[in-house]
Structure 1
Amino acid sequence: MDKKKVDVLQPVDDTAKRLGRTLVRSARYGALATLDPLDGSPSASRVSLATAMDGSPIFLISRLSGHCTNLSADGRCSLLVGEPGKGDPLAHPRMTLIGNAVQLQPGQEQTYDRNRYLRRHPKAALYVDFPDFSFWRFEVTRASLNGGFGKAFALTADDLATSLDGIETLSEIEEGAVAHMNTDHLDAIERYAIRAGAEPNGWRLTTLDPEGLDLASGDRIARLWFDSPLTSAADLRPVLVSLAKTPVGS
């Protein structure tokens, strides 16, 4: 007897999209699954993560590693993000990204992504320039989001991507803006962290994008979303000033 398959997926709404984007933007590491060219079997390994400005995960790996060998032969892979936290690990949100990994070639894009990665993982500066290391970009085709028990969603690449249309110059000013904030406005960054729901404790700004800010304090990561996406690079300064002045909870 044929049994009708039960559809456990929930309709994708703005809340699900925001959760998926937050999981990617705030991930310090993830489980990367690649295909072994010897027999096609899956092989999982942990990698440290950052994101490109459009939200694509980026990671740094050595060609001496098995997953680099696998990706060089076949770029198809998946990436699990989402930290378990306290209690039952299956009750916490996580997401599996499915797509392809592409090695970044020397150029402006690689420079931007390299800088973003190093601000998220400053200790990687010790080996980032070793000749066997290279940056890779995870290009999402679809994703499976589990927001907890009974909260399953099938997301598309567009559901997770941050549009850069008309705001491409934000990448050009990011490095200077982040350095300026971390040098002269640590008090404002602490307020950003509080607005993001974190406890104040030596936070610094790591990256920014049209939709928000990523902050770090040691191993802790916080994501602050703007009320609305930036429409031009010139919008950045007034938004940062407004966020610093607006009382938390307003």
Structure 2
Amino acid sequence: MKKIKPNPNSSEIEKARNLMRWATKAYIATELSSNTKPPDAPGGKATTVEDSHPYASLSLVALDHNATPYMMLSDLADHSQNMAQNPKTGMLFDGTAGYRDPLAGGRVTLIGTMQKVNNDRMLQRFLTRHPASKLYAGFKDFSLYRYDIQEAHLIGGFAKAIWVSAKDFRLDCTKSQELIEAETSIIDHMNSDHSDAISVIAEKTLQLEPSKWRMCGIDPEGWDLHNGHIHARCSFDQLVTNASEARNALVSQTKQARAS
């Protein structure tokens, strides 16, 4: 993953959301206790744990349009069983790739709770971002989980750290329902009819290697693309709220890329 270069005119909250939207994975911290799972549970249990301990793990992540994280987890996994006992969960997004000194890069730590949900739209968004997950999405023990942010800790490098409430951190999408409803059709249209535009933006604007780049998501702040192995993101200059505004923004980005 290349170094994330946010718009210098963006606020710290916008930079943090951009970092999270770039991410394909996140680290989660749950509470592991001695009574979380029985000894004969699949995978066994930690036999020497007599009280509670923080338990860190890693999973794929996809963000909703307002920046709410979602994960698809196995109910048999230790972190899922931990959350069934105590939904309080920490989440870390790491944006330090490409930095000679990782501590100079950005990261976002979230405090909140994780709960299992049924959300067909968000499940489709997750699978579009992570196509390989379709292999196990239908398994009975896999479920979609939503992370409800309580507060966010934004770290932009040395001596750059602030706490932000969920209300201030999440993107207000009340005026973006048309875009949300049109997302699947926009993605299908771009991938089937404008793959050349996606490629020129990927190669000229984002400086990515030539490949079969495909759009895999769009939200008011930008759009996501991948080639089957690498994910990337292209931000909009201003928020888009509907299909028409998205089209105008994508046309403008394509023209700029071709002129570069």
TM-score, normalisation: structure 1: 0.85
Question: RMSD over aligned Cα, in angstroms?
Answer: 2.1
Cα-to-partner distance string for 1:103-156 (whole Å, 9 max, x where unaligned)? 112xxxx11111111121111111011000001111111111221122222222
Query: Aligned to 2:180, which of 165, 168, 171?
Result: 171
Q: Which residue of 1 aligns with 2:239?
A: 229
Equivalent AA in structure 1 for residue 182 of structure 2: I
Shift of residue 42, structure 1, vs aligned partner? 1.4
Trace 1:20-99 onto structure 2 (pairs within 5 A): 20-38=16-34, 39-86=51-98, 87-99=100-112
Corresponding residue pairs, total: 234
Cα-to-partner distance string for 1:74-97 (whole Å, 9 max, x where unaligned)? 211111111432433222211111
8 Å contact kept, 2:203–2:210:
no
Q: Which residue of 2 aligns with 1:121?
A: 130
Equivalent AA in structure 2 for residue 193 of structure 1: A
Query: Secondary structure of 1:58's partner?
Result: strand
Shift of residue 69, structure 1, vs aligned partner? 0.7
Gaps of 5+ in 2: 1-8, 35-50
Distance 1:14 1:157, change over 3 A: farther
Query: Secondary structure of 1:246's partner?
Result: helix
Cα-to-partner distance string for 1:166-195 (whole Å, 9 max, x where unaligned)? 221322221121012112211111233356
How far, CA to CA, are the matches of 1:54 and 1:232 in structure 2? Answer: 15
Query: Secondary structure of 2:79's partner?
Result: helix
Q: Which residue of 2 aligns with 1:151?
A: 160
How far, CA to CA, are the matches of 1:185 and 1:230 in structure 2? Answer: 19
Trace 1:129-140 onto structure 2 (pairs within 5 A): 129-140=138-149
Gaps of 5+ in 1: 1-12
Equivalent AA in structure 2 for residue 122 of structure 1: P
Question: Percent of pairs identical after alignment?
Answer: 34
Quick check: 142-151 or 117-126, which moved more? 142-151
TM-score, normalisation: structure 2: 0.82
8 Å contact kept, 1:190–1:200:
no
Shift of residue 21, structure 1, vs aligned partner? 0.5
Shift of residue 14, structure 1, vs aligned partner? 4.2
Shift of residue 235, structure 1, vs aligned partner? 2.0
